[in-house]
Chains A and B, each alone.
Chain A
Amino acid sequence: MPELLYREALNQALREEMRRDPRIFLMGEEVGFYNGAFKVSKGLLDEFGVRRVIDTPITEAGFTGVGIGAALVGLRPIIEMMTFNFAILALDQIVNNAVKIRYMSGGQLAVPIVIRGPGGPSRQLGAQHSQSLESLFCHIAGLSVVAPATPRDAKGLLKSAIRQNNPIIFIEGQELYSTKGDVPDGDYTIPIGRAEIKREGTDVTVIAWSKMLLLALRAAEQLARDGISAEVIDLRTLKPVDYDTLLGSVRKTGRAVIVEEGWEFCGLGAQIATDLYRRAFDAFDAPVERVTGYDVPMPYARHLEQQALPTAERVIEAVKKTLYR
């Protein structure tokens, strides 16, 4: 199996899907001539031309609205946010138009749109450009949210996202673009709404997504040296949550630690914890622990930034707490 960078896997997905279906087009800031701010759309302009790879002005609300309109009339737009920090500008289009038109038209209209781009804090970009906003989108009724952590999942999930008929938020890990992994050749999809056990274990379930998966796996490796067997689950789709996989694991281990890079309050982890309690109360031997970014705007100073984000040590500490060690 070829080893690809995360950004290359995404590029393959876009290219293969655009070849498969001429209704698909890509639109956003710098996606064409500049080959994408993070080079995800590299070479697409050359192959598909300016009618299908469209550079826009810096107008997130505008081009998201254009995308929604295009979807309504039968095209299948992929809207790239240079980063998800800027997607907030398009929130009205996403929340009030993309998500609600199908419902409000009594099913006469559909909005098959993918809104994708990098998310999550990155190094020393400052509070406005360095944040995890996935919980914000997860809160919206009717919106699906996907956040792959590996190149293989990135390609397979982007294909599934492009093929489904409802709006979907596809958050790529900004710090994952240069990570490598095995990616199957050619066409394959990974279903939306399915988590994956990335490391099997028996003592504790560690739930993570996107960049935090790598942190969780690192923590699990260190915990193994202490004789603690952590099962690490990559959520992959943040909404809808794959509770079957989570509950199966928690019923086995009796403990859960949820790791998320975003803020603690109203974070996705809180929702998952309460759902797990409600559905498997008898399974728990200890309260669910959460490891999150701190409830502060991301500091610019490097040492403070490092303090604000989850670390493997904090994950290990939380795991041990659930094990009463």
Chain B
Amino acid sequence: MKARWLVMSATGAVVALSSFSLLGGFGEKVDFNTQVKPILNKSCITCHGGVKKASNFSLLFKEEAFAPAKSGHPAIVPGDADKSELIRRLTATDPDERMPLDGPPMKPEDIETLRKWIDQGAEWGDHWAYQTPETPSVPSVGTIWSRMGLTNHPETDWSTNEIDRFVIAKLHTTEAPGGGTLMPATIADKATLLRRVSLDLTGLPPTEAEASAFLHDASPRAYEKLVDRLLASPAFGEKWAGMWLDLARYADTKGYERDPGRSIWRYRDYLIKAFNSDKPYDQFLTEQLAGDLMPQATDEQFIATGFHRNTMNNDEGGTQDEEFRVASVIDRVNTTWDVFQGTTFGCVQCHSHPYDPFRHDEYYKYMAFFNNARDEDVTTDTPTLRFYKGADSAKLVQLRSFVQKTCPDRSRANAEARRVELLARTMEPKINSHDFDQHQNAALLDAKFFGIMDKGTARLKNVTLTGRTRLYLAWGTSAPDAQLTFRLDNPAGRVLATAMAPKTGNQWKDSVQVISLPNVAGRHTLFLSLNSPTKPKDWVMIKWVSFQPALAPQAEATLLSLLNTHPEQTPIMLDGQGDLARKTHVFTRGSWLTPGKEVQPDVPHSLPPMDVDGQKLPRNRLGLAQWMTRPDHPLTARVAVNRFWEQLFGTGLVETVEDMGTQGIQPTHRELLDWLATTFVQEDGWKMKALLKRIVLSSTYRQRSDVTKQLVREDPYNHYFARGPRVRLAAEQVRDQALVVSGLLSRKMYGPSVMPMQPDGIWQSPYSGESWVLAKGEDAHRRALYTYWKRTAPYPSMITFDSPSREFCQIRRLRTNTPLQALVTLNDPVYVEAAQRLADYMAIHGKTPAQQLQAGFHRLMLRELAPKKLAILTKLYQDTEVYYAQNPAEAGKLLASATASPKQAALTVTANAMMNLDEVITKD
């Protein structure tokens, strides 16, 4: 049963009624979701829920709640509270019987609610967020006459679009602060709005040209034109990619103890391009989750799958690859839920969800979608997409067309060409050598790759050989005359092949070779043995093997030459087929070492099924993405619009952006959320720019953000939007703004991450020879999102301003306000340099100190400095100038210049002060 809001608009007042309150007779009908479920969650479900089922009684799922408990009788008898054991136990006087056991008794009014609910039939309800949203009707505001344009009414005049009408309607409800007396604020002035919307849409303050264009545009559409320009700006994609990097847990290192580098910046560039090209959100989601599975996947779609290759990889010696492979898969499941479904799914790993309707085995069914990925925590971070350049790139084109043309089976020509191309581009499918077992005189060297010495043997299980007469082998050694033999089915079995290990200098260097195999049908176990008489103690290392069909000799040679190059690469997702397909099991109590029953890929039952109306979706990541982006999916669009709202207003419509479930904070404006979500899908076709434009054009967004005492008292956190957003800038914005106003910012886009100025001693990873190499030229002043991100030692000023360390997905940044932030913007050399350059600007944009200060402030805030504030800064300037005139050497130090003038030093100090003003580091 669902609560619905009936909106009565005749007087502009909106009265919320739940539909069943019209039933009468019983008095108020108790609502399960809003009244009963919170009581159960608070008092009962710890022992009778997803984790524990004391006395075999659980309140998590409907069928469990009404099923007979250990006593043989159901605890709840719908329609009869007096006969319900649940009520008897809650009111029992014997402390051994009374629930909650060992806790304080439940409040009488809560018991009364439960009693009433049972008497009214104990109707179970599903949480709203798991029900497909319907488009709510938009409330009317003002009077019927004002809506027809016949008279004026302040609310009709104020509201620009539907968002505003939802907001006004909610402000008028009795549940709103002040009992419905609050009024929305007036629209902010142009300069404030310009800075606000520029920072919000592009992450940067406007350029002077942009400011001038907007401030001098008197047309009624000036603001909309500005919004269109900002949405079209390349900086737009950088800003929103920056947001997405937290969600994708993007970093330039692999994490854990050694935390070595990883080259995955192409994924970051994909995000920038995706936002800038206004890629529809459904496609954006699908490419990131399943780009590799899309038909004829493009490079861009492969790169997009880097989303889930940002999981950590443990290169520490002694760690088991399988353990960390599983950890990555689990992280992918949890992150997919966190980011796209706004649901904390992680706890289902060990047991059914304690509060939300997800069962333990559903976690593993869902995990099965991700469990086939070929990455296995190997130190090379494979699979990767390889980017051949120049002649190699031409070779690949030739190879592809040669295979296509010469394929004897014409119906398979395209598929065969694609197979060979993918082999060259991704080196997949291959078997990683950590899969070899039964080591004798052999070992996993540094727990990474298989090594074997003279007289060594090992086993490789279950390889399909039918039609595969070529063995590709990446290996190397320092030993001469090391001969490897492959035998079939047993250690003394038929010799399948022998080959001399390539002398690569040392075993860690590999060379890819191809060995011919005889025609063997079926699936077999192979046994390896090594004969290395000259240097018996030298290791031969094998990194991977791959069994492939034969190609024409010239094609094989070309392929081999490509595989032996070392082009740039980026990690991608790729699924294993055949021998490489994995089975998925439930992990008993969440541990990968205790597998339970096998499961098939599927989605939780409390959400719409994957197959509807005879349409079957494939049970892989692509099918999963198609399911998530189907219009009837209750979560995907809601979660997306809530996130964008949160980015613009500082707080989501559901404040817990990470959790829309029963444990999340319930939305203040659920109708608005649903309206935005359904409009986003149905009208905007998932276009993010359209959604953002709708929100920033609303009067709700454009309100003044300064507050009255009444507002602070009644709605301290602005949950009802009777004022505009006023929040501290995000870490990236603090830095980027300083670089923009000082003229230092490089607009260079894309490419490997850069290392701007950073204090010594920040990087302290053990066993890592990597160091911070200061960027040269314009790379020292790129936008913050291009800063090299080391997980165990992130860029300090970013962390100080609340960036997460990106080990795991972080849905929401909490905003803190600390003295350490002050020290960054006061003293960090990055900000001192910015102050010097802003001072240069001030010097040439004014004659008197007052003019210069105004120029600097205008550059920052696009408006005049109020006289009182100007007086304070002028005094600072004058006092400082006197000091530097008396101490010219100090001025020289401050400006790092022998010819520094006291004026310039004083301007620098004043600029430094201005860049620390609350209004400057705040979006208001």
Partners in one complex: no
